[in-house]
Chain A
Amino acid sequence: MNLLEVKHLKKYYATHKAVDDISFVIPQGSIFGLLGPNGAGKTTLLRMITGIFYPDEGQILFKDRPFNPEQDVHAIGYMPEERGLYKKMRVGEQALYLAQLKGLSEKEAKEKVKHWFNKFDMNGWWNKKVEELSKGMQQKVQFISTILHQPSLLILDEPFSGLDPLNANLIKQEIFEMSRTGTTIIFSTHRMEQVEEICDRIILVNKGEKLLDGPVREIRQTFKQHLFRIGVGAIPNFAQMATYHFTIVEQHDHAYIVKLNEDSTTNDILLHFIRQEIPVTSFEEILPTLNEIFITQVQKTTQDA
């Protein structure tokens, strides 16, 4: 089942097209990466999904029904990139307040806040004012406030910025845990290594338009350059490496990176090494990283314009 389906969404501002005809689907329980350079339209897109903005055109389906901001905001947790809390308010009261605004009763809210404060080792913080906390601590409070009402869609915009590795890991584990129990997560970031680690599917946008979307593995397959890394036990001489099956791209100490030529197969490479009696120690395909795909794709569209 798709939790969210976005169809031909458009949002135009006076001077530019912030979101121009974007469509994608997010299956329930998946972790969905929303990627794009600064100013690509990510925030506008998220604000439409959270009901802050109304789209100019297009449709959003939430749980297979047209998105109804009035009710559906209770099923959404949104942690914006520009995050903030009331600085003069006490941490506990603040969390209670935000939870109640998401439709929890005071009693439920209190239970949930206590549960999470306990889990995140924040029991002594209840009466502290937000301004007394460090940035990382504020971040934790913010994260808890976002998930208190057990949203079925959790939207996190750069959730790890400002967190030390320990707390980042804590929150990452929580994200995985929630995903396992059926929460769908939209994850927006610039940090591609995090995307590769966390996300099942991604969408890449630039200048308000979708560049590509799909499962991470498929995307990497689509953009593969047919590069292979071969580890060798002995260094061959120049003549031994001459073949029409592949061309050498890089040469390392005990390894080669080769590009497979057309009409050849991976086994042709291996056969060549075997016939030349070069001992092969390892053989793997090099798939492009999301970072590389991101840069080449974004550069391509930027140059086109």
Chain B
Amino acid sequence: MHKIWLIIKREFYTRVRKRSFLLLTFLIPVFFAGVVIIPVLIAVKGDDNKRIAVIDESKLFTGNMPDAKGIYFKPLTLVDIDTFKHTYDTYGYDGVLYIPELDLNRPTGIAYYSKGRASMTLESNLNRQVNDIIEKKRLEQAGIDRQKLEEAKSNIDIDFRSGEDEKKGSSTVAYAVGYSSGFIIYIILMVFGMSVMRGVMEEKVSRIAEVMISSVKPFQLMMGKIVGIAGVGLLQFLIWAVLLVGIQLLLPLFLSPDSVQALNHGAAAQNTSNAAMVEAMEKLNYVTGSINWGLLVSCFLFYFLGGYLFYSSLFAAVGSLVNEDPNDVQALTFPITLPVIIGIMIMISAVQNPNSALAVWGSIIPFTSPMVMMARLPYGVPGTVAYWELGLSIICLIAGFLFTTWAAGKIYRTGILMYGKKISLKEAAKWIFR
């Protein structure tokens, strides 16, 4: 036991002390923050100022197109589109919107000319404005009061309650939480699994393995590495958790109510999808209370560790089979990465449809359960995931990693001391049972 502790310590410290550990630990949150924040920033800031010439032969639009943020419309009358669409830039315009004489019932021929491709926000803005105006004109023609129509529109959220205790819960939140935790588990399995494999390969290729094996049992060496790397992963999570809490506490200091409002306003005016996102974020704050966070976090930790133990020992076994040839790695890891990829695919389907047979069994079979169960759990226990399903899944995963660790230990023991020979998986499988 003392030796395995020494090994764990070494595996842990050598990784944590590396510069790449610090770099990764801090860069990954920055990356994710970037993914979330940059679209918002873009939505707020919008495009650079665009001056757009409008040649409106239908006379329906002139004066009806308000300038939006960063987009200025300039109606022109005395120009010919056929020549102007080639020369607009010499007059300082970024593009030309051409509206021919229109039949309101069948409007065709509206076109936008510019040198480069129009940006997505510009495209959606133009489309919306033109459609809005045509809609308005049509309403006028039909004698419908627009005001009345607006008033008649409905936009309420149904209060979704589930289970005996009528717990409030939105499947949007469950979806988001399920999807992200399933995905994080997937990344963990791959990243840390590969890390274990590389560690084993390093020991084999640098020939330290035999020196080590003359002091410790192969199984101790393998488990020490697996547990040590798990420690690195846990430390990383801890740092992220602290960062996350810290940012949440600090964020209100940077975002004054004004700026939040401006953000909402700007986004709503610019782009409906961003508006939806802001809305979703508000909603998220509102309904996060509907999730049993205690259960979810402890399950996440369990499935993280269970899934990691299940797969990392397999990765260790594969690492022990690899010789210097890097091509071997590809061929040998494929049978392990395949179930992980199948798992993520079932997870994506399960998060939309958590009660399908595929989702239920996927969350019980240990090859896929860490990812799939995490996708289903936010929908509620025992509402969506029955207690027996969760129990069975946990038991299967424990039994699963005990088995893979045992089998991988057998392969590892032989593989780590085999040099210069190419070993097939079939051959390695035989080592398990001898």
Contact = CB atoms under 8 A, between A and B. Distances in A.
B211 A87 contact: no
A184 interface: no
B215 A102 contact: yes
A129 to B, nearest CB: 11
A6 interface: no
Interface stretch (A29-37, A44-52, A293-301): A44-52
A101 interface: yes
A51 B214 contact: yes
B417 A52 contact: yes
B206 A97 contact: no
Given A84-B207, A86-B206, A87-B206, A50 B14 contact: no
A263 interface: no
Contact of B211 (A47, A51, A98, A100): A98
B216 interface: yes
A47 B6 contact: no
Enumerate the 4 nearest inter-chain pairs by beta-carbon distance, A residue then B residue, closest first: A84-B207, A78-B214, A84-B208, A101-B215
A60 to B, nearest CB: 15
Contact of B207 (A52, A82, A97, A98): A82
B207 A88 contact: no
A101 B212 contact: yes
Contacts of A73: 214-215
A93 to B, nearest CB: 8
Nearest to A47: B417
Contacts of B209: 84
A182 B216 CA distance: 25
Contacts of B417: 47, 52
A135 B147 CA distance: 87
B14 A89 contact: yes
B324 interface: no
B10 interface: yes
B328 interface: no
Contacts, number: 55
A78 B3 CA distance: 17
Interface string A136-156: 000000100100000000000
B422 to A, nearest CB: 15
Chain B interface, DSSP helix/strand/loop, else mixed = helix
B211 A84 contact: yes
A102 B214 CA distance: 9
Interface string B193-216: 000000000110011111111111
B208 A85 contact: yes
B215 A98 contact: yes
A80 interface: yes
Nearest to A78: B214
A47 B413 CA distance: 13
A72 B214 CA distance: 10
Nearest to A86: B208
B6 A100 contact: yes
Interface residues of B, number: 20
Contact of B214 (A50, A84, A85): A50
B419 interface: yes
Interface in A79-135: 79-80, 82-89, 97-98, 100-102
Size class of A's contact patch?
A: 20 to 34
A83 B211 contact: yes
Interface of B: 3, 6-7, 10, 14, 202-203, 206-216, 417, 419
A299 to B, nearest CB: 26
Contacts of B214: 50-52, 73, 76, 78, 80
Given A52-B417, A89-B14, A101-B3, A145 B206 contact: no
Given A86-B208, A102-B215, 5 more contacts: A47-B417, A84-B206, A84-B208, A86-B206, A88-B14
Chain A at the B interface: SS class: loop
A97 B212 CA distance: 10
Interface string A16-54: 000000000000000000000000000000010011100
A100 B10 CA distance: 12
Given A101-B6, A102-B215, A80 B210 contact: yes
A84 to B, nearest CB: 3
A70 to B, nearest CB: 8
A73 to B, nearest CB: 6
A86 B419 CA distance: 17
A85 B206 contact: yes
Contacts of A87: 202, 206
A88 B202 CA distance: 10
Chain A CB count within 10 A is highest, among B10, B14, B208, B209, for: B208
B211 A80 contact: yes
19 contacts: A47-B417, A52-B213, A52-B214, A52-B417, A78-B214, A79-B211, A80-B214, A84-B206, A84-B208, A85-B208, A86-B202, A86-B208, A97-B10, A100-B6, A101-B3, A101-B212, A101-B216, A102-B215, A145-B211
Contacts of B216: 101
B208 A52 contact: no
A142 B216 CA distance: 17
Contacts of A83: 207, 210-211
A42 to B, nearest CB: 14
A47 B417 CA distance: 10
A88 B19 CA distance: 13
A83 B205 CA distance: 10
Highest count of chain A CB atoms <10 Å: which of B211, B214, B419 = B214
A18 to B, nearest CB: 12
A142 B208 CA distance: 10
A186 to B, nearest CB: 13
B407 to A, nearest CB: 19
Contact of B6 (A50, A88, A97, A142): A97
B266 to A, nearest CB: 50
Nearest to A105: B2
Contacts of A102: 215
A203 to B, nearest CB: 20
B164 to A, nearest CB: 56
A7 to B, nearest CB: 22
Contacts of B207: 80, 82-84
